[in-house]
Amino acid sequence: MAYTIGIDARKLHDFGIGTYVRNLVYHLAAIDAENRYVLFTGPQRKDALRDLPENFRILTESSPVYSVRELVALSWKLFRLDLDLYHATHYVLPAVSPCRVVVTIHDIIHLLYPEYLPNRLAFFYAQRMIRRSLARSDRVITVSRNTKSDLTRYFDV
């Protein structure tokens, strides 16, 4: 049975998260011809994902990142697409999800070093979104033991 899996690829050109997303997509493309993938990209990002097999579809999401509009627009798309699984490659999840959710958390640097954030609102947003993603995700992937340890310590999970 083939599944339809959505992957948030909007941070494709970021350094750490972008490298993770590119490697994830290209390795899945190399090994999985059965499942269908929907890649959510930003408007200028579409051309970066060339030569993907037919079971990959690219969908543009133009909502500003870290916005209420982003949370609502992603939710709407998840409902419309009837996905089996959504992989949030960053700690921001849609407002609601009709499918199972996996989140990858790369670090909690926003919370450990708030003095480098533009304002206190950014700190509270990151704190709330990370806590929310931990509570609402069916599975959490951390990219290192250190991140897992930070999450355990900071959020008591």
Residues ≥6 apart with Cβ < 8 Å to 39: 6, 7, 9, 25, 49, 56, 57, 58, 59
Q: At 75, list the tokens.
A: 């939710």
Q: What is the pLDDT of residues 32-53, one digit of tens each?
A: 999 999 999 988 766 678 789 9
Q: Any idea which fold 4-155 has?
A: Rossmann fold (3.40.50)
In the chain, what percentage of residues exceed pLDDT 70?
Answer: 98
The pLDDT of residue 46: 62
Which pair of structure tokens corresponds to residue 86? Answer: 């959504």
Contacts 24+ apart (CB under 8 A), 11-17: 11/65, 11/89, 11/90, 12/41, 12/42, 12/45, 12/48, 12/49, 13/45, 13/48, 16/106, 17/89, 17/90, 17/106
pTM of structure: 0.94
Rg (CA), the chain: 15
* pLDDT for 49: 81
Give the tens place of pLDDT for each residue, 53-81: 999 999 998 888 888 899 999 999 999 99
Q: Is 99 left (phi over 0), alpha (psi -120 to 50) or beta?
A: beta
What share of the chain in percent tops pLDDT 90? 82
CA distance 74 to 41: 11
Give residue limits of the domains in the chain. 4-155
Largest CA distance in the chain: 49
